[in-house]
Homo-oligomer: A and B are copies of this chain.
Amino acid sequence: MMTAPDSDLITFGPYLSFPGLRMRFDRNAEVFGEGEAADFIYRVVSGAVRTMRFSSDGRRQILGFHMPGEIFGVETGPTHQATVEAVTGAEIVLVRRSLLEKAAADDVRAARCWLEFTASHLRRAQDHAIILGRRSAAERVAAFLLAFSNQGARSSELDLPMSRADIADYLGLTIETVSRAFSDMERRHVIDLPSSRHIVVRNRSTLLDLQAA
């Protein structure tokens, strides 16, 4: 597929677009680290990234994944609050944050777009908290697949860019538990697993039931 003409822009809502610099990150490369100065904002062109935080004892919690088109790394404070790494090889567009700051300082519509963006992330974080706080392993994995099938492909075929370890650290589970949940779903003909990262949703309504929203 050809690269879209706006692929080196970061577009915030209907009004603002900024020209950016495109960079390539290898699999597992760090885009930025927690505590670093937040001088840029980012957009995924191709590939996928994960945002995450670590405990002092090394445990990892993945806060979310960002797919092509999505903007990430936007802060209101001076530093990044999380670490972001490339899940797969990824192309990322960078824009100086000062451009966004300037736009938001000059134009309330720009400021509003930024606000809406942050509010949508807040909503996602709250949904995530509900999954982590009150759902069983099977429910978490079902919810993950449904969320991913909504944001990603339109069809019932999903290509997961991330490993079982990534999914586990996103859902607050272990690799083995995630794997068993997938196997159970396959055994029950809810999904097919032609390969470990390619998933065919066979029975979406059962998946919705499993999720127990």
Contact = CB atoms under 8 A, between A and B. Distances in A.
B76 A126 contact: no
A213 interface: yes
Interface in A48-95: 53, 55-57, 59-61, 63, 75-77, 81-82
A164 B55 CA distance: 26
What's the interface size class on A, roughly?
35 or more
Contacts of A126: 53, 63, 81-82, 125
A193 interface: no
Contacts of A107: 108
A55 B134 contact: yes
A105 interface: yes
Contact of A122 (B53, B125, B130, B212): B125
A134 B57 CA distance: 11
Contacts of A134: 55, 59-61, 172
Interface in A106-165: 106-108, 111-112, 114-116, 118-119, 121-123, 125-126, 128-130, 132-134
A144 to B, nearest CB: 13
Nearest to A116: B76
Contacts of A213: 55-56
A91 to B, nearest CB: 26
A29 to B, nearest CB: 23
Interface in A188-213: 212-213
Interface of A: 53, 55-57, 59-61, 63, 75-77, 81-82, 104-108, 111-112, 114-116, 118-119, 121-123, 125-126, 128-130, 132-134, 169, 171-172, 212-213
